[in-house]
Structure 1
Amino acid sequence: MVTALVPIAPGSEELEAVTVIDLLRRAGVAVTVAGLGDGPIEASRGVRLLPDRTLAEAATEDFDLVVLPGGGPGAQALAADPNLQTLLRRHAEAGAWLGAICAAPSILAGAGLLAGRSATSFPGWLDEVADVDYREDPVVVDGRIVTSRGPGTAMDFALRLIELVCGREKAEEVEARLQRPTAQQLFAAGP
């Protein structure tokens, strides 16, 4: 079974975190949600998220995928956690998949994992990272690192992660069950 870790902190963007957690679980991925401390985390819009365990407890485990949700304050809190920095470097060296959306690609940059790579983020979060080939695509894959732009791209990001870790067939199966229309279908329906 594919395993994934989704670290969250106060101020994490709940739409990104919950979308990733939900869709990965729909694909059969064993997702562990880890908070910086014990108890519920208040996300960026006041939604309370309940982690499975603390990041300190999960940091010694190995996962196939580590996904970082954005939200400025949450990303800054996660970036300051030494357990996470160590975990990200260890997983990168082991060839695990790493994903980050919105402000969270800055965490990967701070860990030295985006040097010489293509990546995207919420506008402004990678501006001062000189050695990143910044893209404005909704989802960017470079090697085993996947980045995305923000809440509006969270579903595309999660589906791409599923495709990469579980296969295209599983990603298509999950997407079909979502009954998600294309933008063309939405706009053709009129007012």
Structure 2
Amino acid sequence: MERKKVALFLTNGFEELEALAPVDLMRRANIEVNTISINQEKEVVSSRKITVLADKIIKDVNFDEYEMVVLPGGPGTKNYFESKEVLEIVKKFAENKKVGAICAAPTVLASLGILENRKAICFPACEPDLEQGKAILTREAVVKDGNIITSRGAGTAIDFGLALIKELLGEEISEKIGKEIVYY
């Protein structure tokens, strides 16, 4: 069986738990996850000033190789809106692949019309943006509607990571990883 491939965006100001917990969990499940800097360099500075070295730079990536793109949130979410390339990639993936977004990042999906008439969740302070995008807000830790998975924030990062695994590899593998990290 061919390994599943996921592209996870990193931008200055990303929230550490929302990015690195899902990366860790998916890699434990043998999913090939590439962290993709949307900056011009591989070094990305998180919201808590931790410098992380991304695997790749966005301009050097062939996104046709991936079946899912993931957007962590945090104060850096505003940078997604300033990247036409990120917005185009997210739109394309929403049409025929899979998209995951957590915390403030679902606002990017809402702004693109992707969440219209779909169940979704985000960081509580961002809920008006989802409502404006005509999303159907829920109160779960993680929400899956079709090929879109959204989550609330840093406190739900493990739930989010396990949901991404479930989407790509099934419930059995997701539960296995959850048990391995003593989450269940």
TM range (shorter): over 0.9
The residue that corresponds to 1:77 in the other structure is 79
Q: Distance in 1 between matches of 2:32 and 2:60?
A: 16
TM-score by length of structure 1 reads 0.89
Q: Distance in 2 between matches of 1:122 and 1:156?
A: 14
State whether residues 59 and 87 of structure 1, in contact with CA within 8 Å, keep that contact through their aligned partners in structure 2. Answer: no
The residue that corresponds to 1:34 in the other structure is 36
String of CA shifts for 1:26-48, please: whole Å, max 9, x gaps. 11111111112213111011111
Give runs of aligned pairs for residues 43-122 of structure 1, distance below 5 A.
43-58=46-61, 60-72=63-75, 74-94=76-96, 96-122=97-123
String of CA shifts for 1:44-71, please: whole Å, max 9, x gaps. 1111111111112226434111111010
What is the CA-CA distance between 1:124 and the residue it aligns to?
Answer: 2.0
Q: Distance in 2 between matches of 1:85 and 1:42?
A: 21
What is the CA-CA distance between 1:20 and the residue it aligns to?
Answer: 0.9
State whether residues 42 and 55 of structure 2, in contact with CA within 8 Å, keep that contact through their aligned partners in structure 1. Answer: no
Pairing 1:10–2:7 present: no
- 3-state SS in 1 of match to 2:140: coil
Q: What count of residue pairs does the alignment treat as equivalent?
A: 179
What is the CA-CA distance between 1:98 and the residue it aligns to?
Answer: 0.7
Pairing 1:134–2:137 present: yes
State whether residues 39 and 50 of structure 1, in contact with CA within 8 Å, keep that contact through their aligned partners in structure 2. Answer: yes
The residue that corresponds to 1:25 in the other structure is 27
Unaligned runs of 5+ in 1: 182-191
Q: Quick one: which amino acid aligns to residue 64 of structure 1?
A: E
Given candidates 156, 177, 181, the residue that maps to 2:180 is 177
What is the CA-CA distance between 1:97 and the residue it aligns to?
Answer: 1.3
Pairing 1:155–2:158 present: yes
The residue that corresponds to 1:165 in the other structure is 168
After TM superposition, which residue ranges in structure 1, 4 or more long, deviate above 3 angstroms?
Answer: 59-62
State whether residues 45 and 51 of structure 2, in contact with CA within 8 Å, keep that contact through their aligned partners in structure 1. Answer: yes
Unaligned runs of 5+ in 2: none
Percent identity among equivalent residues?
34
String of CA shifts for 1:4-32, please: whole Å, max 9, x gaps. 01001000001110001111111111111
Q: Distance in 2 between matches of 1:32 and 1:136?
A: 30
Q: Quick one: which amino acid aligns to residue 138 of structure 2?
A: R
Compared with structure 1, are the counterparts of its residues 150 and 173 closer, same or farther at alpha carbon in structure 2 (3 Å cutoff)?
same
Compared with structure 1, are the counterparts of its residues 60 and 173 closer, same or farther at alpha carbon in structure 2 (3 Å cutoff)?
closer
String of CA shifts for 1:97-138, please: whole Å, max 9, x gaps. 111000000111122211111110001213034311111211
- 3-state SS in 2 of match to 1:147: strand
Q: Distance in 1 between matches of 2:53 and 2:156?
A: 23
Q: Quick one: which amino acid aligns to residue 47 of structure 1?
A: I
